Amino acid sequence: MKSLIIIIIALMTVSLTNARKHPDAALYGKKINVLGDSYVYNHKEPKENTWHARIAEKYKMVYRNYGKNGNGIVTPKASGEPLVTRYKVMDKDADYIVVVGGKNDYNKQISIDEFKDGLRSLCRHLTEEYADAKICFFTPWRIYPDASKDPKPIKLMDYVDAMIEVCGEYAIPIFDSSRKSDVRMYSPVFRNKYCQTPTDVSHLNARGHLFFMNKAERFLLSL
């Protein structure tokens, strides 16, 4: 009887240990498509350094990076075909789809109405064509401590809020990187430590991706 109890306790211990290693088996071994701009492509540094690549490696996921430097979600004035139609290049068997963008639409100052219309089209196609996948979006980082310091007519936070609004219309989870990431691109101290150059307000370096990874990981695990 004592031997049986010892065996049961041992099995429970192994089970708990495995649960701690992989608290959510949903990510483990799955296929993930990451679609976006240079936040995804990683600008001038290896894609393997990105937070999404590291999460995929941790959970032994099939990782597909569809990033393109300078790409817009909606505007064709950035670098080539925008995400609203370029999503079609993605493999169709993804379990997870992560969309990251908006900064280049802001750079080109596409109107908010046009931006929202394009986002609605992208959200509609993704939810219809990848009906079995878990889909989510990430907004751009905050580059000014408050919108009043943004010199452009249409503020970056206007695009962020538009993304949150439209994703809400389609019940798509979105991570508000401008407010909840702890990434402070307006801080010279932050950029010196965590960005690819001291003047770069967009691209994390390897250390920066590790800094953000835990928050992104928790978000993906919550889907």
CA pair distance 48, 70, nearest whole angstrom: 19
Residues composing the chain: 223
In a domain, 8, yes or no: no
Residue 13 pLDDT class (50, 70, 90 cuts): very low
In a domain, 1, yes or no: no
Residue 78 pLDDT class (50, 70, 90 cuts): confident
Task: Return the SS3 of 18.
Answer: helix
**Which residue in this structure is represented by tokens 């590291």?**
54
In a domain, 20, yes or no: no
Average pLDDT of the chain is: 92
Helix (H), strand (E) at residue 66: strand 62-67
CA dihedral 103, 106, 112, 113 (to 10 degrees): -80
Closest CA to 68 of 98, 100, 106, 97: 100
In a domain, 217, yes or no: yes
Residues spanned by the domain of 151: 26-221
In a domain, 14, yes or no: no
Closest CA to 212 of 191, 193, 188, 194: 194
Q: Which pLDDT tens digit goes with each residue over 41-61?
A: 999 999 999 999 999 999 999
In a domain, 191, yes or no: yes
Look up the pTM and report it: 0.89
In a domain, 13, yes or no: no
**Count of domains observed in the chain:** 1
Look at residue 20 and tell me whether its pLDDT is greater than 50: no
Q: What is the pLDDT of residue 77?
A: 87
In a domain, 142, yes or no: yes
DSSP string, 27-63: TTT-EEEEEESHHHHTTTS-GGGSHHHHHHHHTT-EE
Q: Which pLDDT tens digit goes with each residue over 131-178?
A: 999 999 999 999 999 999 999 999 999 999 999 999 999 999 999 999
pLDDT above 70 covers a percentage of the chain that reads 89
Q: What is the CATH number of the domain that holds 188?
A: 3.40.50.1110
**Which residue in this structure is represented by tokens 């010196």?**
192
